[in-house]
Amino acid sequence: MAAAARWGKRLGGLAIVFLGVTFIIYLAVFALPGDPIRAFAGDRPLSESVVSALRAKYHLDDPLWRQYLDYLLGLFQGDLGQSFSGRPVAEQLANRWPVTVVLALTAWVLEIVFGLGLGVVAALKRGSLIDHGLLALTVLASCVPVFVLGVLSQQFFGVELGWLPVAGVRDGWPLSYILPASVIAVFGLSAVSRLMRGAMVENLEADYVRTVRAHGFGEGRIVGLHVMRNSLIPASTYLATDLGYLLGGSVIIEGIFNLPGVGNLLFDSIRAHEGPTVVGIATALIVVFLLTSVLVDALHALLDPRVRRG
């Protein structure tokens, strides 16, 4: 019962966050200076009657609260609205999200494999040259701006060596995704390996490990079964949250690598003052983010019995 109440409260909270955030985003898009129809038309202005017809079509002359209400009503009926170029937002999301999901999962797996792996190695060899080398590398990697990494890797692997496609998703997974996913993963990977190393080092020195060791268990079993599992908590919390971010798409990387994902769609839509599209994407992103935060909690409970019982 207590669990049900807790979850009920949690979902109620989600609904409030959801409403609040969509409204703020709606407001923010409308607070952008300039008229959306004219922004859309650019240097070549439209004739008056076209402008008024378009304004009527997108209800731009209604007051803001009315537009937001209409939008919410549509949302509950499963209608995410239309972009100014007349494309359903839902359709655009459906087209774009698979690309972002593939990119995100690829990057995420790289973070898990290399982040955890390097963290474990660094912890086991703590104080050694390898440990210090990894520290230097990961700090350095997380300092380089992502677009620099993106453009450099594109030049090197795409143009100079010609091993991987420069841009686009035409070569499918994995070829088209290796470069962008690696670039995205670098930052998370560094964080994960630092977290993993820290927790491992702490646990390796812990009393219970000394006790286990005193019982005569092999080092492999100690590290694998006890230390690693207990050390996963900080890294897994980070990884789960990070998945939420990754699924939101990377505006910069999707732009540089010309990947038709949601990050890209969001960027274009903000630039074009496409209120409905921006809110539609943001709404979907919020849902994903909220879901991953629930996932984090569940995962936490799984790994840490204290959370489960508490």
* Residue 302 token pair: 């799984």
Minimum distance, C-beta of residue 210 to another protein, in the bound complex (Å): 54
Q: Which is nearer to another protein, 277 or 292 (CB)?
A: 277
Compute the Cα dihedral for 68, 94, 147, 122 and give only its sign: positive
**Residue of 188, 261, 276, 280 interacting with another protein (CB under 8 A):** 261
Number of chain positions touching another protein (CB under 8 A): 58
**Half-sphere CA count of 165, side-chain side, radius 13 A:** 18
Interface region with another protein, contact rule CB under 8 A, candidates 16-24, 203-211, 264-272, 293-301: 264-272
Interface region with another protein, contact rule CB under 8 A, candidates 39-47, 211-219, 224-232, 287-295: 39-47
Residue 157: phi and psi, rounded to 5, are: -80, -30
One-letter-per-residue 3-state SS of 153-206: HHHHHHHHCCCCCCCCCCCCCCHHHHHHHHHHHHHHHHHHHHHHHHHHHHHHCC
User: Cα–Cα distance between 20 and 14 in angstroms, integer?
Assistant: 10
Residue 130: phi and psi, rounded to 5, are: -60, -45
Which residues have CB under 8 Å from 161's CB, separation 6+? none
Interface region with another protein, contact rule CB under 8 A, candidates 160-168, 215-223, 224-232, 297-305: 160-168
**Residue of 50, 69, 109, 144 interacting with another protein (CB under 8 A):** 50
Interface region with another protein, contact rule CB under 8 A, candidates 44-52, 71-79, 105-113, 223-231: 44-52
Q: Which residues bind another protein (CB under 8 A)?
A: 32-36, 38-50, 52-54, 56-57, 85-87, 91-92, 95-96, 98-99, 151, 154-155, 158-159, 162, 165-170, 172, 254-261, 264, 267-268, 271, 273
